[in-house]
Amino acid sequence: MTLALSLIPVAATFAHGEGSGPAKSRGQLVYVSAYSHVYILNDKRKLYLSVTLSFRNTDPDYPVTVRSIRYYDSGGQLVREFIDEPVTVPPLATVERVVGRSDKSGGSGANFLLDWSAEQPVSPPIIESVMVSAGAGSSALGFARSGHVIQEHQD
């Protein structure tokens, strides 16, 4: 079977008040869907994928702190904690964590919960998961999913 490279665009959305510019935040709990495999043709054939979680500090002036990155499987069970202690992300910098293609623990319904905070209101980060499977030759599959804020930290 040959798979063509397929990239699905990810749209960024920002909350805007009238004339106020992008909304700022002091921290959030963010859910990001991930797929360690997808089904092809039927539920018996799986295509395994590598997963990259990307946390991009979009604020040009202030650092943010990633307090936790948790990876869950399709059944909602915690598979792994990706950081042991908070990680400071400088302005416009990126932190990534990778689940390798051979790691089948997440399943098709895997997800990350990522908790971040900042000392002052900042431009919210872009948090995405990027799934890729490259086969022999030029066949590949790739797609991305944006994070979904499930809780806003209170000031």
100-121 tens-digit pLDDT: 999 999 999 999 999 999 999 9
Structure tokens at 47: 């295509």
Mean pLDDT of 68-92: 97
Name the pTM for this structure.
0.83
Instruction: Tell me the C-alpha distance between 134 and 93, whole Å.
Output: 27
E-strand ranges in 57-93 read 64-72, 78-81, 87-89
CATH superfamily of 24-152: TM1070-like (2.60.290.11)
Q: What is the pLDDT of residues 36-68, one digit of tens each?
A: 999 988 888 889 999 999 999 999 999 999 999
**What pLDDT does residue 94 have?**
98
Is 101:48 a contact under the CB 8 Å cutoff? yes
Q: Write down the pLDDT at residue 41.
A: 82
| pLDDT at position 3 over 80 | no
Answer yes or no: is pLDDT of 24 > 70: yes
Percent of the chain beyond pLDDT 90?
72
Q: What is the pLDDT of residues 131-153, one digit of tens each?
A: 999 866 667 889 999 999 999 99
How far apart (Å, rounded) are the C-alpha atoms in residues 119 and 124? 13
| Average pLDDT along the chain | 87
* Residue 126: band (very low, low, confident or very high) from pLDDT cuts 50, 70, 90: very high
The answer on pLDDT for 11 being more than 60 is no
Give buried/exposed letters for 40-71 (b at 16+ CB in 10 A, else e).
eeeeeeebebbbbbbbebbbeeeebebbbbeb
pLDDT at 12 over 70: no
